[in-house]
């Protein structure tokens, strides 16, 4: 492992990328009266120490030069910076605790967080990345399981070699002979009993490259070109139509010369190049760029068309590999649409490409990279906002409402649609308006008759005759006393127990097609393998002890004893009315046993 390899470990990366350190730097700046816009330089100094560009003991001298501090104050600032940033990394950086105590600080006053060195799994992940081996998450877990067993001497080299060369569908990684041999050589050199030595660049070339497994045989130039996936960049919604807006930034007054600098601001640059001392200038340029973005007018884009175009372009990239796998363009479009919209995840997509569409591992990984690019572009475009449509109720005039009520009273039925007056606005007397006339007519309508008509118009309640089973015990004649002391004990059955108790009835309930039922059993075994490979083994063992397998074995034994075909023996039992298997079911079980054999 090189000196800086620990920085790439996941737990170290999570700690270094935590944004809470900026609040801590602001607290240090306020405590020691440092320029607030230059506190980020403290983080640059800590990064320089982690990368080996400066020693821990040199920190007070650098701070004294950069910020114009006296010796005592520079020691205190260095003590706080090392305590809050470098002290949790004492497993990887030596001399931090001694330096803090030498500068007058107290180690117990700082957070107790200490990052431990990574274990064997983290080192194996780093080793896989180093040799260029990229696999899906479930296959990477399988790789770690197999490598740990070999390193810990749980399996010898021959057993591990057999497992690595197995197909992916039955628990292996489908390594070729050359790949497996070179893999064990690199693994022994990196994790062997002798002193570990780093792998050279020449040792890493030729077997694993660009995250893909290279096959051993050489291909012609035409075959390589025919199977190569041409990657085209999918334009985002912002790149389709760019606004033609020229923004002129407002001339600003720089305040660099107004700040009081106690020492030369660029003094630290010659010693630690990461600290430039030009923080103010960078912030002014960032403000100008932000101002330009605010002035720019965003184009009006039909997001539905943009998203449809992204799906279509991504599908076109997959036409060639689907054609090589003897699949149609419609299958490519359907699969792309499901993945890009987020209906299936990466792991499920890899399994479908290998099992259903006949892809090998190399082309499946390339196809998933293209799909992931389309998925990212699709979800960057905002969802279209559908305008809310408010349905306005039709405005019924008072005159029409009075006509509806009079019709209901006279006919005892409520009209389904409002009755329009023949002469709207007609009046009996010139002294009254049309509304006053309608109010007088409404008062003459009987409210009792109107309510009866409205009740009659309501739909009648459905009458349901209770059966003997649904009638309450109090309404039954000669009802017996309810037995309450017998309770059915529910049992939780997992996938392994379900496979172990599967009989011919349960097998037929899976599907009317025996081949489809076998596929569902294989899918259950694949799900068990994603949890743990030992769970898949337990599922296969339980399936072999199930009543379904026992029935099949009994038919085979009887056929061997009588010297007759097993189909004739099964037909004989069916004719007698006994439980037996049909010919398609026997063929499906034979195929299932072939796939699940060890």
The pLDDT of residue 267: 44
The pLDDT of residue 259: 44
- The CA distance from 414 to 458, in Å, is 9
Q: Decide if 291 contacts 245 (C-beta within 8 A).
A: no
Tokens of 171: 């628990």
The pLDDT of residue 235: 44
Burial annotation 287-315 (CB, 10 A radius, 16+ → b, else e): eeeeeeeeeeeeeeeeeeebbebbbebbb
The pLDDT of residue 383: 52
- The CA distance from 437 to 425, in Å, is 10
Q: Decide if 585 contacts 514 (C-beta within 8 A).
A: yes
The pLDDT of residue 228: 46
Written as one string, the DSSP assignment of 460-498 is PPPP----TTTS-GGGSTTPPPPP-S---------HHHH
Q: What is the pLDDT of residues 425-455, one digit of tens each?
A: 666 666 677 788 888 888 888 888 888 888 8
Q: Decide if 314 contacts 371 (C-beta within 8 A).
A: yes
- CA 279: distance to chain centroid? 38
pLDDT lower than 70: segments of the chain: 1-5, 193-284, 296-302, 381-396, 422-431, 462-492
Tokens of 8: 């790439």
The pLDDT of residue 200: 55
The pLDDT of residue 553: 92
The pLDDT of residue 449: 84
- The CA distance from 107 to 403, in Å, is 91
Residues in the chain: 598
Q: How far, in Å, are 59, 121, 169, 460 from residue 127 at the CA level? A: 34, 10, 24, 76
The pLDDT of residue 223: 42
Describe the crossing of helices 137-151 and 177-191 by its angle, rounded to 10 degrees.
60
Residue 127 neighbours by CB under 8 Å, 6+ apart: 187, 190, 191
**What end-to-end distance do the CA atoms of the chain give, in Å?**
38
The pLDDT of residue 482: 59
Domain ranges of the chain: 133-209, 303-380, 396-422+431-447, 495-595
Q: Which residue has the tokens 């039922």?
A: 517
What is the DSSP pairing of strand 212-213 with strand 208-209? Answer: antiparallel
């Amino acid at each position: 492992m090189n000196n800086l390899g620990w920085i790439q470990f996941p737990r170290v990366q999570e700690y270094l990328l935590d944004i809470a350190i900026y609040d801590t730097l602001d607290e240090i700046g306020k405590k020691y009266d440092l320029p607030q816009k230059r506190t980020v330089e403290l983080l640059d100094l800590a990064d320089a120490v982690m990368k080996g560009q400066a020693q821990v003991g040199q920190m007070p001298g650098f701070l004294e030069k950069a910020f114009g501090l006296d010796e005592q104050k520079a020691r205190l600032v260095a003590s706080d910076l090392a305590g809050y940033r470098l002290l949790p990394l004492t497993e990887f950086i030596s001399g931090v605790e001694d330096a803090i105590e030498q500068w007058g600080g107290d180690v117990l006053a700082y957070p107790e967080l200490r990052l431990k060195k990574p274990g064997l799994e983290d080192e194996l992940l780093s080793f896989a990345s180093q040799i260029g081996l990229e696999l899906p998450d479930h296959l990477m877990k399988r790789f770690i399981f197999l490598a740990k067993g070999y390193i810990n001497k749980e399996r010898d080299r021959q057993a591990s070699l057999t497992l690595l060369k197995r197909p992916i569908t039955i628990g292996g990684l489908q390594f070729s002979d050359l790949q497996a041999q070179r893999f064990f050589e690199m693994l022994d050199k990196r994790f062997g009993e002798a002193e570990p030595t780093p792998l050279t660049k020449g040792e890493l070339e030729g077997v694993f490259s660009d995250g893909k497994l290279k096959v051993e045989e050489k291909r012609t130039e035409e075959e390589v070109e025919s199977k190569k996936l041409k990657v085209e960049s999918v334009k985002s919604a912002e790149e389709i139509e760019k606004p033609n807006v020229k923004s002129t930034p407002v001339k600003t007054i720089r305040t660099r010369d107004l700040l009081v600098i106690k020492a030369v601001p660029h003094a630290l640059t010659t010693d630690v190049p990461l600290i430039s001392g030009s923080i103010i200038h960078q912030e002014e340029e960032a403000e100008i760029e932000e101002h330009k973005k605010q002035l720019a007018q965003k184009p009006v884009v039909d997001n539905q068309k943009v998203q449809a175009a992204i799906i279509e372009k991504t599908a076109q990239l997959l036409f060639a590999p689907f054609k090589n796998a003897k699949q149609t363009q419609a299958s490519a479009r359907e699969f792309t649409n499901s993945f890009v919209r987020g209906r299936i995840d990466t792991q499920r997509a890899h399994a479908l490409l290998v099992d259903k569409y006949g892809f090998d591992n190399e082309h499946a990984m390339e196809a998933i990279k293209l799909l992931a690019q389309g998925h990212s572009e699709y979800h960057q475009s905002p969802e279209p906002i559908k305008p809310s449509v408010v349905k306005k109720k039709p405005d019924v005039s008072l005159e029409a409402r009075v006509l509806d009520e009079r019709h209901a009273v006279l006919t005892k039925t409520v009209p389904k649609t409002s009755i329009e007056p023949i002469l709207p606005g007609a009046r009996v007397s010139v002294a009254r308006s049309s509304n006053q006339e309608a109010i007088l007519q409404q008062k003459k309508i009987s409210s009792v008759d109107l309510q009866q008509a409205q009740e009659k118009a309501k739909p009648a309640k459905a009458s349901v005759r209770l059966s003997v089973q649904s009638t309450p015990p109090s309404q039954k004649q000669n009802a017996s006393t309810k037995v309450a002391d017998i309770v059915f004990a529910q049992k939780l059955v997992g996938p392994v127990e379900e496979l172990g108790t599967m009989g011919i009835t349960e097998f037929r309930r899976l599907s009317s097609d025996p081949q489809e039922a076998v596929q569902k059993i294989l899918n259950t075994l694949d799900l068990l393998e994603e949890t743990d490979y030992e769970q898949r083994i337990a599922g296969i063992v339980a399936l072999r002890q199930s009543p379904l397998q026992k029935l099949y074995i009994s038919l085979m034994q009887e056929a061997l004893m009588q010297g007759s075909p097993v189909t004739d023996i099964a037909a004989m039992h069916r004719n007698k009315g006994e439980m037996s298997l049909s010919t398609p079911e026997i063929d499906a079980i034979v195929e299932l046993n072939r796939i699940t054999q060890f």
